[in-house]
């Protein structure tokens, strides 16, 4: 798809359909990958990308950010999630030609444009979407305002008389008075009359200081009808273009999105943090599980086995890193969530008193990952070599998750927890076969992974954001949730201090961890099914079923431990 030059009309683009309702757009999307761009009437004419993906019609609002006019810089930036583009043409071209997901949460890829059948009038193209040079020129050329004393002589005259030909095609909100624009008298009058009409607050001779831009409101809550949200929940909502001042500024477009500076601290309004902030959405529709599923359905387990075999351990590590970063609140955090938790990252929230919900979710996720990893080995009822290959796969995944590679320490801890479970450790014949057939993996497990895991649990492992993308927070989470540290008193106190000091260090370095994670995931294209299989909600339903996942946590864990014990003794009975 060729990107048009600046100033070209959107009407020349086949994928732009102008003002189109959501229902009509969904009727035009027939296959996965079909997409079109429309002007949303309910969003003040903002562009919306409508795309069909996995049988669902999804709608992604494009964020339009007005910049302070500067030579050589676009007047408006267009944004999906974090990355910003100088024009809508560039945004569409980047996502379509690169086959990149429109959002990381949905994984939707736009690949086939749905061309329109009828032409679009000029007034419904670029002028509507705020990046037309003609509209910017008109904005800068206006010199009258009915709200100022000097503009009283213009009352009753038509706007065409002041703006010139073509002004009727410009939206009415384009002529709103801005505080930064001086207004001079149209014709000179007597000196006394001018002096009497001027006031210090009128800004007749000098430009007034621009008013403080309004803060971006939080995300619009989803409809209460129970239907899935139609607009991407990772895209910030901004006021309609009618209320956006021309002086509203944002960081330079050349700055990478993970280095974008947050709102200045003195411009933030205090909002009381909420006691419950969740990064694990519930009741999401699943493409792998039905609405009502039983625990450990064989058909689903077979599908997951084939899915993991299709991906190399490095690819699986990237999928797990992305899922862990989202579950921890490091990446993909919306402004509404930041306002609700009072900090910018989940790594800071988990150290605060109102982070109990996040700490519980992280413990639940860690335990679910450990059980799922153990099930990958204990569920192999075939030959001995098959179980040894499953062990080797987990060891290779742990090596890809270690510091210096993907740097996902929570994922590494979960994989190592599965390999060190008593039900897996007792499989002597399986481990002997691993050392016989896969010597390198067995040596790496004993000499590298086990000492590293021991140091991480004691709070003394690596935690440099240069080599770690997501730190190991399980010891601090367990400690803050009231679990005691066992061992001699002097060693327990020393480990307690190390754990608390590591938690403070992690919270302080949260922006650096976010940058490191974004750098490792740059250009990564997740598989939608594999991404879903690594979410906390999916693993809960897979392990305990749609009915059993609501049982108390202790009862669920105790029951599944018995299941794993039965599987382990069935594979290798005691002599």
Same domain, 144 and 80: no
The answer to whether position 202 is within a domain reads no
Residue 333 pLDDT exceeds 80: yes
pLDDT above 90 covers a percentage of the chain that reads 38
Segment of 26-35, 79-88, 120-129, 477-486 carrying the highest mean pLDDT: 26-35
Mean pLDDT, the chain, as a whole number?
76
**516 shares a domain with 395:** yes
Alpha-carbon gap, residue 320 to 233, rounded angstroms = 21
Domain containing 163: what range? 133-188
CA atoms within 13 A on the CB side of 463: 23
In the sheet with 76-80, reading across from the earlier edge strand, the strands are 63-66, 76-80, 83-85
What CATH number should be reported for the domain holding residue 364? Answer: 1.10.840.10
Residue 406 has pLDDT above 60, yes or no: yes
| Residue 536: both structure tokens together | 């906390």
Q: Assess if residue 466 is contained within a domain.
A: yes
The answer to whether residue 203 is domain-embedded is no
Closest listed residue to residue 60, CA positions, set 27, 105, 118: 105
User: 141: exposed, middle or buried (C-beta count within 10 Å: 0-12, 13-18, 19+)?
Assistant: exposed
What would you report as the CA-atom Rg of the chain, rounded to the nearest whole angstrom? 29
pLDDT tens digits for range 3-32:
333 434 566 778 888 888 888 889 899 899
Same-domain status, 236 and 140: no
Do 322 and 439 share a domain, yes or no? yes
| Cα 17 to the center of its chain, rounded Å | 28
> For position 202, what pLDDT does the model report?
40
Q: What is d(CA 289, CA 196) in angstroms, rounded to the nearest whole number?
A: 76
Distance from chain centroid for Cα 282:
16
Q: Quick one: 86 and 165 in the same domain?
A: no
Are 390 and 471 found together in one domain?
yes
pLDDT of 270 reads 60
Q: What is the DSSP secondary structure assignment for residue 467, as one 8-state letter?
A: T
pLDDT tens, position by position, 243-257: 334 333 344 333 333
Q: How large is the average pLDDT for residues 39-68?
A: 84
Token readout for 287 is 């493409």
Which of residues 300 and 187 earns the better pLDDT score?
300
Task: Please tell me the total count of domains within the chain.
Answer: 3
CATH number of the domain encompassing residue 247? 3.30.505.10
């Amino acid at each position: 798809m060729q990107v048009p030059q600046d100033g070209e009309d959107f009407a020349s683009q086949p994928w732009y359909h102008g003002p189109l309702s959501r229902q009509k757009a969904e009727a035009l999307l027939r296959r996965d990958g079909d997409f079109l761009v429309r002007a949303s009437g309910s969003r003040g004419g903002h562009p919306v990308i409508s795309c069909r993906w996995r049988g669902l019609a999804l709608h992604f609002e494009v964020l339009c950010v007005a910049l302070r006019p500067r030579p050589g810089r676009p007047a408006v930036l267009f944004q999906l999630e974090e990355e910003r583009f100088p024009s809508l043409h560039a945004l569409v071209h980047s996502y379509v030609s690169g086959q990149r997901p429109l959002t990381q949460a949905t994984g939707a890829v736009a690949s086939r444009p749905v061309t329109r059948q009828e032409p679009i009038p000029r007034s419904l193209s670029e002028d509507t979407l705020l990046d037309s040079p003609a509209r910017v020129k008109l904005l800068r050329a206006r010199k009258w305002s009915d709200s100022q004393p000097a503009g009283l002589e213009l009352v009753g005259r038509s706007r065409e008389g002041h703006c010139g030909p073509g002004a009727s095609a410009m939206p009415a909100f384009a002529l709103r008075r801005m505080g930064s624009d001086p207004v001079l008298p149209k014709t000179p009058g007597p000196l006394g009359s001018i002096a009497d009409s001027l006031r210090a607050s009128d800004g007749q001779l000098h430009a007034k200081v621009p008013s403080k831009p309004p803060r971006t409101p939080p995300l619009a809550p989803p409809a209460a009808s129970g239907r899935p949200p139609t607009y991407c929940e990772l895209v910030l909502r901004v006021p309609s273009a009618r209320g956006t001042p021309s002086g509203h500024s944002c960081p330079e477009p050349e700055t990478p999105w993970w280095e974008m500076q947050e709102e200045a601290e003195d411009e933030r309004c205090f909002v009381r943090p909420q006691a419950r902030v969740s990064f694990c959405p519930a009741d999401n529709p699943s493409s792998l599980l039905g609405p009502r599923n039983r625990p450990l359905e064989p058909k689903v387990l077979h599908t997951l086995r084939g899915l993991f075999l299709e991906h190399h351990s490095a690819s699986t590590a990237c999928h797990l890193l992305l899922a862990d970063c989202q579950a921890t609140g490091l990446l993909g955090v919306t402004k509404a969530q930041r306002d609700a938790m009072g900090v910018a990252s989940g790594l800071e929230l988990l150290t605060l008193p109102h982070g109990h919900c996040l700490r519980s979710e992280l413990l639940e996720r860690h335990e679910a990952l450990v059980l799922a990893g153990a099930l990958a080995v204990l569920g192999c009822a075939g030959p001995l070599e098959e179980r040894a290959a499953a062990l080797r796969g987990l060891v290779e995944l742990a090596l890809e998750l270690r510091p210096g590679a993907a740097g996902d320490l929570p994922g590494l801890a979960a994989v190592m927890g599965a390999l060190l479970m008593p039900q897996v450790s007792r499989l002597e014949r399986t481990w002997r076969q691993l050392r016989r057939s896969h010597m390198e993996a067995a040596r790496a497990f004993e000499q590298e992974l086990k000492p590293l895991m021991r140091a991480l649990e004691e709070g003394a492992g690596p935690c440099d954001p240069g080599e770690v993308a997501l730190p190991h927070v399980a010891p601090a989470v367990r400690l803050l949730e009231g679990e005691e540290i066992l061992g001699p008193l002097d060693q327990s106190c020393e480990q307690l201090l190390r754990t608390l000091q590591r938690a403070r260090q992690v919270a302080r370095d949260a922006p650096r961890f976010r940058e490191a994670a974004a750098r490792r995931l740059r250009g990564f294209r997740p598989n939608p099914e594999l991404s879903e299989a690594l979410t906390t909600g999916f693993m809960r339903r897979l392990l305990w079923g749609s009915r059993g996942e609501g049982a108390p946590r202790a009862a669920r864990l105790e029951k599944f431990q018995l299941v794993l014990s039965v599987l382990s003794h069935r594979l290798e009975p005691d002599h």
